[in-house]
Each structure stands twice: as structure tokens, then as C-alpha cells.
Amino acid sequence: MPATIRDVALLAGVSPSTVSRALSVPDMVNVDTRARVAIAVERLHYHPNRAARGLITGRTGNVGLVVPDVANPFFASVVKGVQARARRDDIAVFVADTDEEPAVEAGLIRALAKQVDGLVLCSPRSSAEDLAAIAEETNVVLINRGVMGVTGIRFDDEDAMRQALAHLVALGHRQIAWVAGPDASWSNQHRTVGLRAAATARDVELIEVGNFAPTYEGGVAAADQVVATEATAVVTYNDLIAIGLLSRLHARGISVPDDLSVLGVDDIEMSRMAIPALSTIRLPQQRAGQIAVETLIGLITMPEAVPPILRSNALTGELIVRNSTGPAPSPKGRKRSP
Amino acid sequence: MPATIRDVALLAGVSPSTVSRALSVPDMVNVDTRARVAIAVERLHYHPNRAARGLITGRTGNVGLVVPDVANPFFASVVKGVQARARRDDIAVFVADTDEEPAVEAGLIRALAKQVDGLVLCSPRSSAEDLAAIAEETNVVLINRGVMGVTGIRFDDEDAMRQALAHLVALGHRQIAWVAGPDASWSNQHRTVGLRAAATARDVELIEVGNFAPTYEGGVAAADQVVATEATAVVTYNDLIAIGLLSRLHARGISVPDDLSVLGVDDIEMSRMAIPALSTIRLPQQRAGQIAVETLIGLITMPEAVPPILRSNALTGELIVRNSTGPAPSPKGRKRSP
DNA sequence: TTGAAAGCGCTAACAC
DNA sequence: GTGTTAGCGCTTTCAA
């Protein structure tokens, strides 16, 4: 049975309220009273019951994090970032995995909302209306998703695509394929738009294939369509797709990057382990999680400090060059299997 | 401001206790009273405040999960399993990532223990004493770790190694290398012992190298030592090491499985994406998480139903054959680079 | 600087 | 079947 504040008070020979003060506003209590309390706390291994405290202060000291799939390395990194930042402020985090099912999502979020001070949401699937509604009820920070009136942390997809294209163009590529991710995905839309703009600006031919699932299997499925184009390089919606692509290309005897350059987006752990190691645009996932928590803490402690409409923050990606991108083959040099 | 039980009571024209009963023990209240309450609940979007309930029942309806690193795919799967099972019982889960630092671990666990009904611990690093002490204070289920007197879910490492060896022996291998994981790791010890026993039983020469970190880098580092042995096949502590091995072997021009067969343990997501796809012993990580929660619920609801000493449950692995294991090369057929 | 008292939202006796 | 009462562990007026 854990010690209560009364146990501590008894042992220290003071009243419960003094103990409470000694712990939360030390300045307001006499130095040696404080010391006596400290000793009692120590001896009893006392930790305040957060639920009880929350009941009265209205703050739980907890935040919730909702992700579609913790086993997806992209989200795993976000979780890590959230964790790290939350721990610094002694905040505990509820994690909910929606299993990619939007139906589950709504219910889970409601349930969580009751016991946290705020929510970090990675919800590529939920509707903007649903998200806005939740943001009415509790503090919410969205990751990688823009919804009017809701605070969000996003990646600068347009810039990422600009960097991707700059790299490939510098290598001599002029015909570049784009393997699109899920049609409904917010970031897929932004990446597609960004890539088109960059392609026009640099006068390269963009060949779009897809949409494909943002998974290894999606990449495997996309490979043959990519090969069938005239492209000498391909940019994929994410690294998982790129890795699937690599696998199928290998099976078909197409050499990367000699025959075809492959460039992913995300820089998940796995990417540097691929053969060949995958060039990619690194999106700072952990950092996004950290900033999300930071923003959330701001929202919780000073709700009025930020203007309510579109407080968005874009994190820029970073080009990581590994071995899957190389110079464009000369037209006759291309030796793809027939 | 969320609705309280009093708001519901007022609207339904009953007392708060009736509302409480209508929700938790419906049978004890009149059918139409119940209906009126239900309507009020609906209209007010009422959800009971779990913290307040917990204060009086002593149950929070939450469990905690502590893992060394959520970004490690092995633990990510465990998290997923825990999540899935907990959701079925409407249990929320706190996840804490210790960042592989045992020092952080102890503090985090204490903090969590206060606000949960029980803890699932993946703590390869913490000392048995620490774990036993925590188990004194709250309900604990350990994953992949045996500690006297503490309930645990483990994988049958010995059997896994038996299966590994059977597979390789059947392919004609007689000299097999073992890349050991961290010396202090509980499962590394068990796997090593299991493998030695199996090797003796089948009369194969076991060549041990290591210890290495259970990471991609660990595998890269181990590769050259493996190559320097006479082994025609290698079993690694886990898949991550195997994938690192694959990478370095590829760089050195050593063909897998023609020159050397590689067999991992775990079957993380990444393994089927490796080139060549990795043969491995699948350990049911999600299932372990599920069973852990199930066991924890048992511990919480009927603490006396299980004998206190060594309630261990071993999950058996399953051999997954992909492309990284093949027949042993004939002695003259081996064409490793000099 | 400290203590007494009230109450956060809820449930569990105990009456009726 | 239902209402009344008390109290879970804590913080926060309000007095002293």
C-alpha cells in the first residue's frame, strides 16, 4: 500500500496541507519544516497520487499519442521523440495504436481525451471535421496534417521534393518517375504537388505511377510499372516503397543505381541497411514528436498565447545521399532486361 | 467543460448513485430509469472520469508498458500486441521508452507504477533485484526475462536453437558459427546454452564469435570474424545482427546462401525485406504482448489465483525459411574471396 | 508560516 | 430500486 500525504504529514509532524505546499511551492514553507517533510517523503517513498491531484487541479500530467501503427518505423520514431520530450517535464504518455482503422480511431481518441491534458495525433486517415471536433474538446497538436484552426507540426513536403529533384537533376536525370502513395494521404498530395512544381521549374519530365500502398509490398507492386517507363530515376512516396522497389528490381536483374536511381523519403532506420543503402530525404520524425509535445505543453499552460487559426510549423527535410542514386545512364548505356 | 455524473443525474431526474449504478451494474436498476439515464448520458456526451473512479475503487483501468526502445522493431511488435489486447478490455496503456538506459528505467517505472494497475516490463538491463522489488509494489509481468518469484512470459530459446540447428544440419552444414549478442542479456545466455546443447547432440562443430551489440552495426562488425572461420553457416543472436552481416558479406562479395548460409532469430518486419530475404526463427512478439496483458489482468483481478513462484510461460518459435539459407557448399565449391 | 475545512468526480455502504 | 452519506488523496481558500 503506497504512502499517502497524511502518512507523510504524520511522520513529519505537520499537516497535510503543509506537505502539499512543501512539495509544490517550497518557497512558501519554512526551511526546516521543508527538510522534515523531505525526510519523511524519502523514508516513506512517497509519490503524490497524480489522479487525486488531477481531480482538483484539472491537470493530469499526462498526454496521449495516437498513431496508426507503432510497428511502422516512421511512427515509432515519432513516439520516441514524444517520449523523450515528455519525460523531461515528467509527463507520462498514453500511446494508442489505431491499427490503421479510422473507426477505431475516433473511439480511442475520445476515451483518451478524458484522462489527458492534451493529445498528439498522427491521423492520416481521420477526416478534417473529426479532428477539428476533437480539438474543440481538448488540446490537440497534429503531426503531418494540416487542418484549419488546429495546431499542427508538418514537414515541408514541397521543399523536400525540390531537394529530391535538384539531386537527381545534378546527376543528369531528365526523366524521373514518381511513385505516389495513398491518394487520400495529406502528405502524398503535398509531395505530388511539390514534385510537379519542381519538375516544371527544372524542365524535367515527370512520369507519375500509382497510387500505391505506403508499404514494402506497395513498392514491390510498383516496380514493374516504373521499369516500363523511360525514367532513369525514381522518387518514391516513402522509404518503405523504395525498399520494396529495390527488392523487385534486384529480382529482375536491374542494377541500382547503374540502370535506375532510387530515391526515398523519410529516412527510416531500415534505409541505411538496404542493399544498396538508400538515398533519401530525411524527415526529422523524432524532432517532430518533440516539438509536438512542446507545443502541446504551451497550449496547456497558456492557451491564449497562440492565435487559434492555422498555427503551423514546417520542418525541413535533409537530403541523405547513399548508394541508390548515381549518374544517369547514357541512352545507349541502358541495359535493362528486355 | 465535460459533463459530470451530477449533470447526468439532474437531467435524468435521479440521484448520482443511480447513474453510477446504471452504468456499472445495470441489472440493479429499473429498466426505464436505466433508459432515462442512458438518454441523458447520450445527450451530454458523458464519459465517467476515470481518475475519480480510480480514486475510490483503487483501480485505474490503465496499465504501463516499459520497453528499452520503441524504435527497435522487436519491441514495437510487443507494444502492438499489448495495445491490441488492452483495447479489448478498454484498458489504456502508458508506454515508457527507457532509451536503453537502466538508470532512467528505475525512475520511470516508479513514476508509472502509481497510476496503473499493473506493469508489463521488457527490461533486459535491469537487475533481478530491482525487478523483484518492483513486483512487490505492484502487479508485474516480465517479457523475455526470468526472475524468481515474478510472473514472466518468455520465448523458448532452447527450442528455437534446436530448430535452427536442425534446419542447417538438414542442409548439410557441419561447421556452424554463432554470433552471440550482449553478454548480459538473459536471452543471449539461454540461446547460447541451447545452441551448445543442440550442437553436441547433433555432433556439429559450433564456432562462437562475439559478443556483439544486437544491432545492424553489431552484425557488420561480426561479419569478418565469421568469414575467417571454417563455418558454412551462421546463426545470429537476432535478425538485426543478421542483416548487418548480410550487408558486409555483400560488400565483400561473399554470396549468401551459396558461400555462407545466414539464419537469424526474431523475424522482425525487416527480415523479409532483406536481400536475400532472411531465414529466421520467428518469435511471436505480438502474441507475447497479448499474453502479458492477459496475465496481468489475471493478476489484477484475482491476485491469489496463481502461485507466487516462477509462473513462467514459454512461447515456442517457428522456423521461417527464406532465401538466406541453403545447402552447404562442398569443400572445394567454396569460393570465398581470399 | 501553518492548520482546518471544503470539495474535485466518483462509488460503496447503508438506509429507506 | 433508489437516495443519502461518507470518503478515496489531494490542493486550495481562508483563518489564525
pLDDT attached to residue B305: 61
Pairing of the two strands A279-282 and A261-266: parallel
CB of A20 under 7 A from strand D? Answer: yes
Cα separation, A287 vs A283, whole angstroms? 9
* Interchain CB distance below 8 Å, B70 and A87: no
Phi first, then psi: give them for residue B290, nearest 5 degrees. -60, -50
Q: Is the pLDDT of residue A283 over 90?
A: yes
pTM of the predicted model as reported, rounded to 2 decimal places: 0.90
Nearest CA-CA partner of B323 in A37, A277, A250: A250
The answer to whether the C-beta of B17 is closer than 7 A to strand D is yes
Structural contact between residues B241 and B217, judged by C-beta atoms closer than 8 angstroms: no
Mean pLDDT of all residues in A179-205: 95
State the cell numbers at B101. 538506459
pLDDT tens sequence across B55-66: 999 889 999 999
Among all residues of chain B, which has the CA nearest to that of A271? Answer: B270
Q: What is the pLDDT of residues A52-78, one digit of tens each?
A: 999 999 889 999 999 999 999 999 999
More confident residue, A248 or B113: A248
Strand partners, B34: none
SS3 A265: strand
- What is the dihedral angle through the alpha carbons of A69, A70, A74, A77, rounded to the nearest 10 degrees? 150
Q: Using a CB-CB distance cutoff of 8 angstroms, which residues of chain A are in contact with residue B70?
A: 70, 76, 79-80, 83
DSSP one-letter string for A134-200: HHHHSEEEEES--BTTB-EEEE-HHHHHHHHHHHHHHTT--EEEEE---TT-HHHHHHHHHHHHHHH
Task: For B316-325, write each residue's pLDDT tens digit.
Answer: 999 999 999 9
- Residue A325 confidence (pLDDT) above 90: yes
Partners of B250 on chain A (C-beta within 8 Å) are: 275
A91-CA/C5-C1' distance, Å: 31
Read off the pLDDT band of B304 (50, 70, 90).
low
What pLDDT is stored for residue B196 in this prediction? 97
On the question of pLDDT at A248 being above 50, the answer is: yes
pLDDT for B269: 93
Q: Check A79 against B93: CB less than 8 A apart.
A: no
**Whose C1' is closest to the CA of A46: which nucleotide?**
D9
What span, in angstroms and rounded, lies between the C-alpha atoms of A83 and B113? 17
User: What is the rounded average pLDDT of the residues B221-232?
Assistant: 97
pLDDT-derived band at A306 (thresholds 50, 70, 90) equals: low
Average per-residue pLDDT in chain A? 90
Q: From chain A, pick out residues whose CB is under 8 angstroms from the CB of B215.
A: none
Chain B CB contacts of A216 under 8 Å are: 272-273
Query: Confidence class of residue A128 from pLDDT cuts 50, 70 and 90?
Result: confident
Has residue A276 got a pLDDT over 90? yes
pLDDT of B307 > 70? The answer is no
Closest Cβ–Cβ partner in A47, A60, A243 for B273: A243
By C-alpha distance, which of A117, A142, A110, A139 is closest to A128?
A142
The C-alpha angle B47, B82, A297, rounded to 5 degrees, equals: 55
Omega cis (within 30) before B214: no
pLDDT of residue A309: 40
Q: Strand D: which of residues 29-48 in chain A lie with Cβ below 7 A?
A: 46, 48
Burial class (CB in 10 A: 0-12, 13-18, 19+), B44: middle
SS3 A48: coil
Q: State the Cα–Cα distance between residues B61 and A161, nearest whole angstrom.
A: 45
Q: Which of B97, B249, B250 should one mutate to test binding to chain A, selecting the residue with the greatest count of A CBs within 10 A?
A: B97
CA distances for B145 relative to B78, B93, B132, B213, B315, angstroms: 14, 21, 12, 18, 12
Question: Which of B55, B71, B87 has its CB closest to that of A52?
Answer: B55
User: Hey, what's the cell of A184?
Assistant: 487520400
Q: What is the pLDDT of residue A166?
A: 97
Residue B217, pLDDT > 60, answer yes
